[in-house]
Structure 1
Amino acid sequence: MLVLAILLFALNLRGPIVAISPVLDAITADLGIGAGTAGLLTSLPVLCFGVATPLAAWLLGRTGLERGVLLALAGVLAGTVVRSADGVPAALAGTLVLGIAITIGNVAVPVVIGRDLPHRAGAVLGAYTAALNVGSMLTLSLTVPIAGAVGWRVALVTWGALVLIASAVWWCATRSRTTQDPAPVTGDPPDLADRTSVWWRRPVVWGLTIAFSGQAFAYYGVTAWLPLLLRDERGLSESAAGLSSSIFQVAGIVGAFGVPLLLRLCSGPRPVLLMVCAAWTTLPLGLLLAPRWWPLWCALGGAAQGGGLTVIFSMIVQRARSLAENRRMSALVQGGGYMVAAAGPTVLGAVREATGGWTAPLLVILGAITLLTIAGTLSARRPTAAAGAGSSRSATSGPPR
């Protein structure tokens, strides 16, 4: 029941963000906003992932994990409803509430898995990552048909039904623990070495932060604008473009489960990282040079975006010298990366508006992937035996997305 609750919760941690992508044109016309402002509707939640993480950790420490997740689900529902109310202020306010609520979920779920399912943490984290992509696939595929029947506002609110289902299952799975004292989510206290070492001065910390920034920028930029790109460049209808772009999300499941296998087969993370980056580059280059093969490019790029996260977090685990440092590195890498990624949809929207086409935005995505490749390759050195031993117990502590 707990695993089911986690997977249903995961469906609501990305779906509400990407649901607006296939109907951005309708939203832009209805609200009278430009492409840059429309990009804020997908970039604000990502900005919250970087900025609101300390607030989320504090709230979970005060309420406990079980109540905290219920509060997060309530926030997702409230943000979904407010976002569809009339006017630009309501749309932005609802989006902000969504971002903060989802940030709480990002922090809570990996801790719940590590605490309650330690012997199955790897498998459950893989399923959790897959469920994030399934949630995106569902909303990308079905929002346009629903909007065609009832309008984009009601279509977005309709996804609140998933929130209600997840809330009910979560309550049933955890109700026996909701009366217990709140569980801390900040992890084990640091040891003396962690207190005295200047961990954030290590080049690998900033290298991985830059790599994750490129990965997240490319992912959220593509997620926001791929439906409209396929509509403009391939002549697909809005409904077909939304359904087709879901290939990008579904293929992420392949990367989420396939990259851990490659990491076990290869001598280190560097060859796996290079394979991931090579697959990533096929998306912008393929759409530029051979757009008729767009299903293949979307599939390869989707597998890469799912696998890129796994590679980066595996390197954090390998290079961290203790559990406490692992979590500090994870917080810095994710916080910095998501703050950069928040600009992705807005930047790509503004570039598209300025150039009147999709060539320049695709080159921007290619630049982000290049950043991932260079910074990730420089960071993917084989860790020392001491570093590996120091971090072996924290192999599943970092959240997948």
Structure 2
Amino acid sequence: MPSSPAGTPAVPTSTADGSTAQGTQVVPATGGPTASRAHGGLLVLVGMLLVALNLRAAVTSLGALLDEVRVGLALSGTMAGFVTTLPTIAFAGLGAATPWLVRRLSTARLLVLGMLALAVGQVLRAVTGSAVVFLLTSALALAGIAVANIMMPMLVKQYFPHRTGLVTGAYTMALVAGTTVAAAAAVPVAHAFGSWRAGLGVWAGLALVAVLPWLPAALRSRGTDARRATRDGVARVIIRPGRTRLGWAMAVYFGAQSLSGYAIMGWLAQLFRDAGFRPQDAGLLLAAVTALGVPIALLMPTLAGRLKNLRMLVFALTAASTLAYLGLALAPRDAAVLWVLLLALGQGAFPLILTTIGLRARTADGTVALSAFAQSAGYVIAALGPLLVGILYEGTGGWTAPIGFLLLALAVQTGAGMVIARPRYIEDER
């Protein structure tokens, strides 16, 4: 693979790997001064962190302003419900197309296009007066997020194969931080400018900033990474995770943990309000789950990267979530802070599965294929979480049945976790 000029990152390639009868190995970039490669790697890391900051801001800012948007656009109850479900639908459907896009566009160009789609979508939905246009432009913004979601583990595999845990932790922490800041700042920004439109549109600027580190490489790249790899004599391997036990285990684990995460974000505040907390206190308890997740997002991938077998880590996260759910069912008011802390620990399953995607693939091709399948299939599962919890809550008038459902989902998650805990590689299951 040709080296890049000093001061710019080498164009990432999704196919810089070689296949032999014994297995597949990553071929690192060669050529060029060490200092240039180090500088390029730093620029890639900065680019990844800026992209990660954008991966949930468009979603949580809308959640914080949903009532204002619903009134401003005269959305029906059904339409408002569809708006809240749209992210998981987009992440599932559009994320599945990412491996196809990676084979046709350079990684830098794909990330630039993704962040531009996110910026344009956020601006357009903030200025429209049409509910239909709002949905379409939201889908455009979410398309950019969906592609970037899949590509992040691939970038870790390409540029930081020996620091998988640390770099995954860094970008996951940036993702959680962006989620928290957007949720907390959307309403104040809207109030400051006198309109919910400002609270949604301001995040387009963050997406444009994320374009900058990737733009030089995107402008320089000629053809696709796949074509360059073929010219260099690198054999490509088609990976189909949907035909493997590991691929389905990854999808089920990702889906089950996301299901619980979306259910918690959607319903935990209501649970605390039903337990007698004031609305503002219930909101603070919900925010604490996300805030406590920031250091966990940094530490969990680092710990996972150092363990040969992840079984004990999977069990520890299951134990934390189980205790939290039982506490919320039996004594939600008496030890609310403890249950929030345990919930935050249990939600460490999210950075764990992102790390495991990179750990269970030998190559960049395998990583992007596994990431696309696990996240796309997983988000289909995750979309059921808030819906089923709401149905059970409305049908029973209490929280015993919804929490029982979450415990059942946790049992399924743990079973899948036992499969992915053992060291193995998706390329070996072809």
User: Distance in 2 between the 1:390 and 1:63 partners?
Assistant: 23
Correspondence 1:94-113 to 2 at 5 A: 94-113=137-156
Q: CA deviation at 1:285?
A: 3.0
User: Distance in 2 between the 1:305 and 1:90 partners?
Assistant: 34
Residue-by-residue CA offset, 1:201-226 (whole Å, 9 max, x unaligned): 54444333322221111112223344
Correspondence 1:280-299 to 2 at 5 A: 280-292=321-333, 293-299=335-341
> Residue 67 of structure 1 aligns to which amino acid in structure 2?
R
From 168, 187, 193, the equivalent of 1:125 is 168
User: Distance in 2 between the 1:265 and 1:64 partners?
Assistant: 31
Unaligned runs of at least 5 residues, structure 1: 392-401
Q: CA deviation at 1:275?
A: 0.7
Per the normalisation by structure 2, the TM-score is: 0.73
Correspondence 1:2-401 to 2 at 5 A: 2-28=44-70, 31-34=74-77, 37-84=79-126, 85-118=128-161, 120-149=163-192, 150-167=194-211, 169-171=212-214, 174-176=215-217, 178-184=219-225, 189=235, 200=242, 202-230=244-272, 233-237=275-279, 241-260=282-301, 262-263=303-304, 268-292=309-333, 293-311=335-353, 314=356, 317-318=359-360, 328-354=369-395, 359-377=400-418, 379-380=419-420, 382-383=422-423, 387=424
Contact persistence 2:301–2:351 (CA under 8 A): no
User: Distance in 2 between the 1:37 and 1:244 partners?
Assistant: 28
Q: CA deviation at 1:113?
A: 3.8
Give the aligned partner of residue 24 of structure 2.
none
Residue-by-residue CA offset, 1:55-81 (whole Å, 9 max, x unaligned): 333344444222222221121122223
User: Distance in 2 between the 1:312 and 1:159 partners?
Assistant: 24
Give the aligned partner of residue 39 of structure 2.
none
Contact persistence 1:41–1:91 (CA under 8 A): no
Q: CA deviation at 1:156?
A: 1.8
User: Distance in 1 between the 2:274 and 2:195 partners?
Assistant: 22
Residue-by-residue CA offset, 1:300-349 (whole Å, 9 max, x unaligned): 2223223344157538845x687765654443322211111123334444
* Largest Rg, 1 or 2: 2
Partner SS state of residue 181, structure 1: coil
Q: CA deviation at 1:20?
A: 2.6
User: Distance in 1 between the 2:208 and 2:362 partners?
Assistant: 41
Q: CA deviation at 1:146?
A: 3.1
Q: CA RMSD in A?
A: 3.6
Residue-by-residue CA offset, 1:210-249 (whole Å, 9 max, x unaligned): 22221111112223344455455554445x6555423222
Per the normalisation by structure 1, the TM-score is: 0.78
Q: CA deviation at 1:276?
A: 0.7
With over 3 angstroms needed to count, the CA separation of the structure-2 counterparts of 1:109 and 1:55, relative to structure 1, is: same
With over 3 angstroms needed to count, the CA separation of the structure-2 counterparts of 1:89 and 1:343, relative to structure 1, is: farther
Contact persistence 1:247–1:298 (CA under 8 A): yes
With over 3 angstroms needed to count, the CA separation of the structure-2 counterparts of 1:45 and 1:315, relative to structure 1, is: closer
With over 3 angstroms needed to count, the CA separation of the structure-2 counterparts of 1:347 and 1:390, relative to structure 1, is: closer
User: Distance in 2 between the 1:176 and 1:315 partners?
Assistant: 26
- Range that drifts further, 65-74 or 363-372: 363-372
Q: CA deviation at 1:273?
A: 0.5
Contact persistence 1:18–1:223 (CA under 8 A): no
User: Distance in 2 between the 1:5 and 1:357 partners?
Assistant: 45
Residue-by-residue CA offset, 1:347-378 (whole Å, 9 max, x unaligned): 4445445555555444433332222123323x
User: Distance in 2 between the 1:235 and 1:207 partners?
Assistant: 39
User: Which structure features the higher share of helix residues?
Assistant: 1
Q: CA deviation at 1:165?
A: 2.9
Unaligned runs of at least 5 residues, structure 2: 1-42
With over 3 angstroms needed to count, the CA separation of the structure-2 counterparts of 1:89 and 1:245, relative to structure 1, is: same
Q: CA deviation at 1:130?
A: 0.8
With over 3 angstroms needed to count, the CA separation of the structure-2 counterparts of 1:205 and 1:175, relative to structure 1, is: closer
User: Distance in 2 between the 1:381 and 1:68 partners?
Assistant: 32
Q: CA deviation at 1:134?
A: 0.5
Q: How many residues align?
A: 377
Contact persistence 1:46–1:99 (CA under 8 A): no
User: Distance in 2 between the 1:261 and 1:140 partners?
Assistant: 27
Partner SS state of residue 127, structure 1: helix
Partner SS state of residue 221, structure 2: coil
User: Distance in 2 between the 1:389 and 1:277 partners?
Assistant: 25
User: Distance in 2 between the 1:67 and 1:325 partners?
Assistant: 20
With over 3 angstroms needed to count, the CA separation of the structure-2 counterparts of 1:312 and 1:265, relative to structure 1, is: same
- Range that drifts further, 355-364 or 106-115: 355-364
User: Distance in 2 between the 1:162 and 1:265 partners?
Assistant: 33
Partner SS state of residue 52, structure 1: helix
User: Distance in 1 between the 2:91 and 2:169 partners?
Assistant: 20
